[in-house]
Amino acid sequence: MIKRIKVKKLLQAENDKNQVLVKGWVRTKRASKGFSFLEVNDGSCLKNVQIVVDSTVSNYSEVEKLTTGSAVSVSGLLVESIGGGQKWEIKAESVEILHLAPDTFPLQKKRHTDEFLRTIAHLRPRTNKYGATFRIRSELSHAVHQFFREHNFYYIHTPILTGSDCEGAGELFRVTTFDLNNIPKSNNKIDYQNDFFGKEANLTVSGQLSAEMFALALGDVYTFGPTFRAENSNTARHAAEFWMIEPEMAFCDLTQNIALAESLLKYLIHHILDHCDEDIELFSSFVDKQLRSTLTAIMESEFIKITYAEAIEILSKTKNRFEFPVEFGKDLQSEHERYLTETLFQKPVVIYNYPKQIKPFYMRLNDDNQTVAAMDVLVPRIGEIIGGSQREERLHVLETRMIENYLSLEDYWWYLDSRRFGSVPHSGFGLGFERLMMLITGISNIRDVIPFPRTPKNIEF
């Protein structure tokens, strides 16, 4: 028995006349006199391999009935293809039909809309576009780990179940084993004592607080995992479950933090352009014709860096009409972010030093007592892709900020301990993995870069 070869490897062959075994799914079948041509895809790469089956093959009448979506195992000879379009094809010696798909298979040859494909998210990875998307997603994950390894960061697995709300935005998914029809209460309040953890528990919105504890022990660390937000915003850039890359660095200030964010983004884009050329070509031909030039520009340009106050000044002076007012102390809306990155600068923009009232408690208070050492990285088409800050390392300042934000110092005793014992300046950020995928592929909806998207009123599959 010869070993199965993946199509990706097979198409890189240098010599022909090799005996090969390929397994995959039939994309199309064409018949001509005495021959059938199968296009078989095994998911290893965008390209199909062409299989030529002649009528001498023992089960030829079965082969003639093969449908799109069927699964086959083909053994035969790898030969140079005479027809145009491909270098190699397989001259089949035997075709085993592993599964014959009925003609109700929804992915027939015509092109389908993304909206339709979302309704069959379990089958969409079998299309060219979604196959490419998820191969890139895999490569990008590896590149993230590679970057941090090259920079001597340690990878920390921070918990998914947590008792704290890192961002303080209250957008938490509650975790409980209570019978929802019979929730124990005392004094009209939920009595968590008999719940699984004996206290309120949630899915994490960020691994940051845990990562900080490890940065203050191992130096440079990162987490890369799923996070959950019960934000009821049905936009193309928000998901209820998404993945975040969160580096955290001891002895690091805001400037160094911004520099790491910039080099990480450039590295990841570079890596994908180097390793996923064929899949990227599909996106730059069919999804966003400017994709390659946008990505190259990001890699080659130095990011613009302006303070929040400067951004507000720029935005209030422009003739551009915005739906939402621009005002110091208010969060920037996506129309403002897009104006800065797409219209004005046409490259990534880092905005730093935000007013403290619109940012979480853990960000370091600046000497003006009004702003914190926060930074957001905005990119064309997406808006905010990274959010981070230098952390407040001074115990008293941190406690004051927490009290202002109605957080219980008792609940966060362990977090505050890190400022009691060996507290040092440290910084970190969160890069939204799906937003990064959107940037790199040109795909405009977050639902299409994650295998099974979770959004308000949607948890099918």
| Residue 386 touching ligand 4AD (CB under 6 A) | yes
Measured from the CB of residue 388, what is the shortest distance to ligand 4AD in angstroms? 4
Among 89, 246, 262, 337, binds ligand 4AD (CB under 6 A): 246
Measured from the CB of residue 314, what is the shortest distance to Mg ion in angstroms? 20
Measured from the CB of residue 369, what is the shortest distance to ligand 4AD in angstroms? 22
Q: What is the DSSP annotation of 380-419? A: TTTEEEEEEEEB---HHHHHHHHHHTT--TTTTHHHHHHH
Residue 332 in tokens: 């920037």
| Residue 262 touching ligand 4AD (CB under 6 A) | no
25 vs 242, beta carbon nearer ligand 4AD: 242
Helix H or strand E segment including 24: strand 19-32
Strand pairing partners for 29?
Answer: 38
CA distance 266 to 313: 28
Question: Within the chain, how many helices (H) and strands (E) appear?
Answer: 13, 18
Among 355, 430, 442, 453, binds ligand 4AD (CB under 6 A): 430
214 vs 242, beta carbon nearer ligand 4AD: 242
Among 88, 222, 224, 242, binds ligand 4AD (CB under 6 A): 242
What number of other Cβ atoms are within 10 A of residue 168's Cβ? Answer: 16
Among 52, 201, 244, 349, binds ligand 4AD (CB under 6 A): 244
The long-range contacts involving 182-191, CB below 8 angstroms and separated by at least 24 positions, are none
Amino acid symbol at 394: R
CA distance readout (Å), 320 to 323, 338, 344, 457: 10, 12, 11, 35
Q: Contacts with ligand 4AD: how many residues (CB under 6 A)?
A: 23
CA distance 446 to 438: 7
Residues 363-392, interacting with Mg ion (CB under 5 A) = 387
CA distance 348 to 56: 61
Among 348, 355, 425, 432, binds ligand 4AD (CB under 6 A): 432
291 vs 385, beta carbon nearer Mg ion: 385
| Residue 387 touching ligand 4AD (CB under 6 A) | yes
Residues 160-179, interacting with ligand 4AD (CB under 6 A) = 166-167
Residue with tokens 């890699």, as numbered in its chain = 299
Percent of the chain as helix, strand, coil, to the nearest 5: 35, 25, 40
Residue 326 in tokens: 């621009």
Among 69, 76, 131, 428, binds ligand 4AD (CB under 6 A): 428
Residue with tokens 């599964």, as numbered in its chain = 99
| Residue 432 touching Mg ion (CB under 5 A) | no
Q: Which stretch binds ligand 4AD (CB under 6 A): 92-100, 191-199, 239-247, 289-297?
A: 239-247
| Residue 429 touching ligand 4AD (CB under 6 A) | yes
Assess contact for 351 and 306: CB atoms under 8 A: yes
112 vs 330, beta carbon nearer Mg ion: 330
Q: Which stretch binds ligand 4AD (CB under 6 A): 37-45, 93-101, 231-239, 393-401?
A: 231-239
Q: Give ∠ CA 351-352-358 in degrees, rounded to 5.
A: 100
Measured from the CB of residue 162, what is the shortest distance to ligand 4AD in angstroms? 12
DSSP code at position 7: H
Q: 231 is in the binding site of which of ligand 4AD, Mg ion, none (Cβ under 5 to 8 A by kind)?
A: ligand 4AD
| Residue 266 touching ligand 4AD (CB under 6 A) | no
Among 22, 385, 402, 443, binds ligand 4AD (CB under 6 A): 385
Strand pairing category for 49-54 and 88-99 = parallel
425 vs 430, beta carbon nearer ligand 4AD: 430
| Residue 381 touching ligand 4AD (CB under 6 A) | no
Q: Which stretch binds ligand 4AD (CB under 6 A): 132-140, 234-242, 277-285, 395-403?
A: 234-242
Amino acid symbol at 363: M
Residue of 381, 365, 389, 397 whose CA lies nearest to 437: 381
Residue with tokens 């609940």, as numbered in its chain = 411
Applying CB under 6 A, which residues contact ligand 4AD? 166-167, 206, 208, 229, 231, 238-239, 242, 244, 246, 384-388, 428-430, 432, 434-435, 446
* Site of interaction with Mg ion (CB under 5 A): 387
